[in-house]
Amino acid sequence: MLLKQLVKGLRYRLVQGSLNTEVRDIFYDSRKVCPGGLFVCIVGTQRDSHDFAADVAARGAAVLVVQHELEAGFLQAHPDLTVLAFDNTRYAMARLSAAYFGHPAEEMTMVGVTGTKGKTTTTHMIRQVLTAAGHKTGMIGTNGVYYPGHHYDLNNTTPESYELQKILRQLADAGCDACVMEVSSQGIMMDRVAGIHYRVGVFTNLYPDHIGPGEHSSFEEYRAWKGRLFQRCDVGVVNADDPNTDALLEGHTCRLITYGIQHPADYRAAADYRLLRTKEMLGVEFALTEPDGHTLDVQVAMPGLFSIYNALATIGVGKALDLGDGPIHEGLRTTVVKGRVELVPISHSFTILIDYAHNEAAAESLLETLRAYAPTRLVVVFGCGGNRSKLRRYGMGEVCSRMADFLILTEDNNRFEKVEDILADIRQGIAKGRPDVPFVEIPDRLDALHYAIDHARQGDLIAVIGKGHEAYRDREGVKIPFVERALIEEYAAEPGVENRQPQQNRPRGFFHAPAAVFVRGKSRRFRRPGG
């Protein structure tokens, strides 16, 4: 593709060279540049890639995109190199990448979801509703990239602009006519989504987050960047109950659809709702009032008040896109989000679920939700990541001890720390919360999962938290496969799981090693029958 085709409609300055230069690909990592490539120099918080201009030229780059002047003598030393100057090279990369991949977003109905909490679940719900309506739908976010028959993980909630445009091209080429994506504040601030116009933008809620070095300087700045989404969409679906909504919408250019429970809204749920708990479902049912006053019941296959808000946002999107009631309600009844209050239906006697809650606030919100289902016991299986703040460990220990009936402490991603040290920090949090809560320590997470199943009681609700959608565990920097849902299902499939009596261990055919169990600080050893 010729450079002049890529820069059409953009403001730039041709420093040297020709717009007829052929561009074979776009790069922002100097180590990956190939002959004929266009390299974008980015001024980052840690590094300025203008410093690598000579390396890029030596690799055969044809075009250099810059934001400031290069070292003296560089242009003279590379007369065959075309150089373009932009005021903001991050913005330029987004627009150049969109052009290079043929503006794939314009070929699909784009839905963007922003907010502090609920983005992942809401995108899954919207995708399921669109699919139920007959749309071939892609999804981009925390849980990775999804489109029919494909899934792969991502490093960022909102990928870098080149990667994002490449993904959008994959979706469009696969026949997707709709795409739902999480839009982070960082993604907006760093111009990863520059040039993308959304048919619908969604705001879930806002809490202090991502504030500090390398992120946002203040909560107000964080909120302002979130709000930019509503200057880039046709319809905004927003939470009328969030106290930040008015400030966030300052300067918006879109038509608004509101949803909520506490305040007047276009789509409003009744404050009283019914809890649903079966082997296959842990969810809610609520009464929805529409703008014309019509009321109908809605079922959601996920628990808690936050699921109602996510469902209301999804309903707003469905209405904005004229999808009809049937697909909307079908999608909400069938949405399952990997690692987000994900039910693993292995028993009629007890309920076990997986969730990504890995900090104090998320754990508290989840456990408060689960408490409402009045389980015989609320059991929590958790650990904390190594080489991370100890404050998280103290907080997790304190919250879980206050809100659970029984704790199973185990590893998370230990990284380069000893699991024993991490568990000791969690115990300090327990001492501040509810010191008399019964708990065991089982350092190996697989053994902890087995122990939870073996010792489940009738009516228990077991929450396995911390890892959620992750497909690995990290020990000493080595990541090994570890998919909790699959491991739970595999163990539960062994003969006798449904016939065993509560508190009785059942035989198993394989046991890695005896696991240490510490009950209230007093160590003992256990070995399952058959181990």
Token code pair at residue 29: 């990592």
Please give the tally of structural domains in the chain. 3
CA distances from 37 to 17, 47, 96 (A): 14, 21, 13
Beta bridge partners of 22: 2
Q: Which range among 75-79, 218-222, 293-297 shows the weakest confidence by mean pLDDT?
A: 218-222
User: Are residue 349 and residue 329 in the same domain, yes or no?
Assistant: no
Beta bridge partners of 283: 276
Confidence of residue 209 (pLDDT cuts 50, 70, 90): low
d(CA 184, CA 418): 33
Q: What domain range is 380 assigned to?
A: 342-526
Q: Which residue has the higher pLDDT, 361 or 375?
A: 375
Residue 149 zone, left/alpha/beta (φ > 0; ψ -120 to 50; rest): left
Q: What is the pLDDT of residue 509?
A: 27
User: Are residue 67 and residue 148 in the same domain, yes or no?
Assistant: no
d(CA 360, CA 267): 31
Mean pLDDT of 490-495: 90
Q: What is the CATH number of the domain that holds 257?
A: 3.40.1190.10
Q: What is the pLDDT of residue 500?
A: 54
Strand, helix or coil for residue 262? coil
Structural element, H or E, at residue 63: strand 63-66
User: Are residue 214 and residue 137 in the same domain, yes or no?
Assistant: yes
d(CA 283, CA 292): 27
d(CA 472, CA 220): 36
Confidence of residue 495 (pLDDT cuts 50, 70, 90): confident
Q: What is the DSSP letter of 514?
A: P
Beta pairing, strands 109-114 & 178-182:
parallel
Any domain includes 423: yes
From 69, 100, 131, the end of a domain falls on 100
Token code pair at residue 242: 């969030």
User: Are residue 40 and residue 113 in the same domain, yes or no?
Assistant: no
Q: Which residue has the higher pLDDT, 210 or 333?
A: 333
Any domain includes 242: yes
User: Are residue 198 and residue 303 in the same domain, yes or no?
Assistant: yes
User: Are residue 211 and residue 330 in the same domain, yes or no?
Assistant: yes
Q: What is the pLDDT of residues 435-469, one digit of tens each?
A: 999 999 999 999 999 999 999 999 999 999 999 98
User: Are residue 324 and residue 386 in the same domain, yes or no?
Assistant: no
CB 232 within 8 A of CB 187: no
Token code pair at residue 452: 């939870």
Q: What is the DSSP letter of 22?
A: B
User: Are residue 291 and residue 391 in the same domain, yes or no?
Assistant: no
Mean pLDDT of 271-297: 94
Any domain includes 194: yes
User: Are residue 430 and residue 378 in the same domain, yes or no?
Assistant: yes
Question: In the predicted model, is pLDDT for residue 236 greater than 60?
Answer: yes
Any domain includes 230: yes
User: Are residue 372 and residue 521 in the same domain, yes or no?
Assistant: yes
Per the prediction, the chain carries an average pLDDT of 91
Token code pair at residue 388: 């991370």
Structural element, H or E, at residue 189: helix 185-189
Mean pLDDT of 179-206: 95
**Percent of the chain scoring above 70 in pLDDT:** 92
Q: What is the pLDDT of residues 9-47, one digit of tens each?
A: 999 999 999 999 999 999 999 999 999 999 999 998 788
Token code pair at residue 264: 């007047």
Beta pairing, strands 378-382 & 461-465:
parallel
Q: What is the CATH number of the domain that holds 64?
A: 3.40.1390.10
Q: What is the pLDDT of residue 210?
A: 55
Beta bridge partners of 291: none
From 48, 83, 100, the end of a domain falls on 100
Any domain includes 531: no
Q: What is the pLDDT of residue 163?
A: 97
Q: What is the CATH number of the domain that holds 477?
A: 3.90.190.20
Any domain includes 78: yes
User: Are residue 28 and residue 118 in the same domain, yes or no?
Assistant: no
pTM of the predicted model as reported, rounded to 2 decimal places = 0.84
From 76, 100, 124, the end of a domain falls on 100
User: Are residue 352 and residue 405 in the same domain, yes or no?
Assistant: yes
